[in-house]
Amino acid sequence: MKFLGYRRPDGKVGIRNHVVVMPGVVCADVAARKIASGAGAVYLQNPHGCGQTQSDTARTLHILSGLLANPNVYGALIVGLGCETLDETTYCTAIKARSPHKRIGYIGIQACGGLARTVEEGIGIVRKIKDEADKCRRVDCSLSELILGLECGGSDPTSGISANVVLGEVSDRLVNSGGTTVISETVEAIGAEEILRARGATPEIGQAIYDCIRNKEKAFAAIGEDIRESNPSPGNIRSGITTLEEKSLGCINKSGTRPFTALVGYGDPVETAGVVFMDTTAFDAASTTAKIAGGCQAVAFTTGLGNPIGSAIAPVIKITGNKDTYNFLDDLIDFESSGTLTGEKTVSQSADELMDLLMRVCSGEPVKAEINGADVMSIDQFNMLA
């Protein structure tokens, strides 16, 4: 099975061919938005760029540089102000370290002489990058070149016993073909850590994942917080999920049955094929962003209650096991798996259909989040409990 993707100079494959405009600091947001709109480019949010602690600044740079280094991005223009912490050299060095051939431009409002001049110059730069990007053509690509993020949000009981099970089957198929899947949301593995430890490709990998999960719970306790007071969420509880452990046992079904080949940090590059565990928050928007910063070209996002979030960089495919949610929130959801609950379809049959959708999306078919312009971006900060 193959899909049509864009092969980059470093050999990686993109499934989108974005030219992105991003403010280097929130102060430059208005200029970046105007440039993106005027040039018909993709706008990427950046709520930071200055005024943070050193550790938070480092995390912001880590995630933003990872997003722009994603193979779905052909090139980008960063719009700065001129006096901020994260400047041209800092951004370009970080991005080039991840993607040496990436086409990156940079302009600053103070150097350009105001907003109007910055917008005019920026539109010209972006149009040139777009002309280059338009020359790229899709080519046949192997499943071994795909990194798929596995996410959930707004879960209900059908998530754990239908949508996540079907997605787990898809994960197994991708891994069997040499591809990579990435599961995260460390808090939502509490109660399932023994199962994940047993799935380590080596005892060391399994133990590292186990320790990561246990340490997350200890970190909450150390500051006097009980994670179970906020997870499951109110919506999870109203839907019928009763405990964090119950939620976790359903969440991990997304990862299928294959061995875990690596544990990586928040937004770190995913460089090992197989099933990878990424240490992230349980907050959907931030964990989705981290996976894409790590290199995922697409994210499969299961939701029982419905969730519209997407990404400016990668398609986020919404999957539900709840037929009512699919029918009522039909402009948000791309796929439903409720037939596995009613006996109308087997898990394998539903996975066949989801694989077909995934290949179409990888070859250019837009998902609902892209059609709706949903482009949420969130970065966890060190001075908040991640």
Torsion of CA 302, 308, 311, 316, to 10 degrees: 30
Write down the pLDDT at residue 386. Answer: 42
> Where does the pLDDT of residue 385 fall: very low under 50, low under 70, confident under 90, or very high at 90 and above?
very low
Q: Of the candidates 133, 168, 195, which is a domain's last residue?
A: 133
Same domain, 95 and 201: no
Residue 70 neighbours by CB distance under 10 Å = 25
Residue 382 has pLDDT above 70, yes or no: no
pTM above 0.85, yes or no: yes
Closest by Cα among 96, 78, 85 to 29: 78
Last residue of a domain, one of 133, 158, 183: 133
Query: Both 178 and 104 in a single domain?
Result: no
Q: Is the pLDDT of residue 384 over 70?
A: no
Categorize the per-residue pLDDT at 353 as very low, low, confident or very high, splitting at 50, 70 and 90.
very high
Q: Let me know: does 42 contact 19? Beta carbons within 8 Å.
A: yes
Residue 291 resides in a domain: yes
Is 10 contained in some domain? no
Asked if residue 206 and residue 164 are part of one domain, the reply reads yes
In this predicted structure, what is the pLDDT of residue 229? 78
**What CATH number does the domain containing 27 carry?**
3.40.50
Q: How many CB atoms sit inside 10 A of residue 50's CB?
A: 17
Position 195 in a domain:
yes
Q: Are residues 237 and 339 in the same domain?
A: yes
- Nearest one of 305, 302, 328, 338 to 317, comparing CA atoms: 302
Is the same domain home to 172 and 97? no
Q: How far apart are CA 139 and CA 150, in angstroms?
A: 25
* 1 part of a folded domain: no
Statement to judge: residues 198 and 262 lie in one domain = yes
DSSP-derived secondary structure letter, 200: B
**In terms of pLDDT, which residue wins out, 101 or 246?**
101
- What tokens does 139 get? 């080519």
Domain co-membership, 171 together with 317: yes
Residue 50 structure tokens: 């200055």
Distance separating alpha carbons of residues 233 and 250, to the nearest angstrom: 15
The pLDDT value recorded for residue 244 is 84
In the chain, what is the straight-line distance between the N-terminal and C-terminal CA atoms, in Å? 37
What are the pLDDT digits (tens) for 211-239?
999 999 898 888 888 888 777 888 888 88
> Which helix (H) or strand (E) covers residue 107, if one does?
strand 103-108
Per-residue pLDDT averaged across 125-151, rounded? 98
Q: Is residue 60 part of a domain?
A: yes
Q: What is the pLDDT of residue 362?
A: 98
pLDDT tops 60 at residue 128: yes
pLDDT at 383: 54
Residue 378 lies in a domain: no
Give helix 88-98 / helix 54-69 axis angle, nearest 10°. 50
Within a domain: 380 = no
Which of 73, 69, 49, 72 has its CA nearest to residue 61? 49
The CA R_g of the chain, rounded to the nearest whole Å, is: 20
**How many Å apart are CA 98 and CA 101, to the nearest integer?**
9
Are 110 and 156 part of one and the same domain?
no
Q: What is the mean pLDDT of residues 306-333?
A: 97
- For residue 238, the model assigns a pLDDT of 87
In terms of Cα–Cα distance, which of 42, 39, 35, 32 is closest to 67? 42
Same domain, 106 and 177: no
Which domain range does residue 302 map to?
Answer: 142-372
Q: What is the dihedral of CA 267, 272, 277, 279, to 10 degrees?
A: -30
- Asked if residue 153 and residue 92 are part of one domain, the reply reads no
pLDDT at 237: 82
- Among candidate residues 133, 157, 189, the one where a domain is terminated: 133
User: Is 334 within the bounds of a domain?
Assistant: yes
Residue 275 has pLDDT above 90, yes or no: yes
124 and 152 in a single domain? The answer is no
Across the range 293-300, mean pLDDT stands at: 98
Question: Residues 92-98: what's their mean pLDDT?
Answer: 97
Q: How many domains does the chain have?
A: 2
> Residue 162 carries which DSSP code?
I
- 262 and 203 fall within a common domain: yes
Q: Is the pLDDT of residue 376 over 90?
A: no
